[in-house]
Amino acid sequence: MASAGGKPTILLLRRLDSSFATALRERFHVLDFHASGEPLAAFLAAAAAAPEPPRAAIVVGGGSIRADASFLDTVPSLRCIFSTGAGVDHIDLAECARRGVSVANSGEVYSTDVADHAVGLLIDVLRRVSAAERYVRSGSWPVQGDYPLGSKLGGKRVGIIGLGNIGSRIAKRLEAFGCVIYYNSRRPKDSVVSYKYFPNVHDLAAKSDVLIVACALNKWTRHIVNKDVLEALGKDGVIINIGRGANVDEAELVVALKDGKIAGAGLDVFENEPRVPGELFSMDNVVLTNHVAVFTAQSRSDLCAHTISNLEAFFSAWWQVCWYHRLGEHWLADC
291 as an active site residue: the answer is: yes
Phi then psi for residue 144, to 5 deg, are: -105, -5
Helix (H) or strand (E) holding 121: helix 111-127
Catalytic residue among 38, 95, 231, 273: 273
Long-range contacts of 189-196 (CB under 8 A, 24+ apart): 189/163, 192/163, 192/168, 195/163, 195/171
Catalytic residue among 29, 55, 90, 291: 291
Catalytic residue among 244, 250, 252, 271: 244
273 as an active site residue: the answer is: yes
Round to whole Å and give the CA distance between 116 and 138.
Answer: 29
117 as an active site residue: the answer is: no
Round to whole Å and give the CA distance between 151 and 263.
Answer: 11
Strands 102-104 and 80-83, by their bridges, are parallel
Beta strands in 138-250 (DSSP E): 157-161, 180-184, 196-197, 210-213, 238-241
Round to whole Å and give the CA distance between 53 and 307.
Answer: 20
Catalytic residues: 244, 273, 291
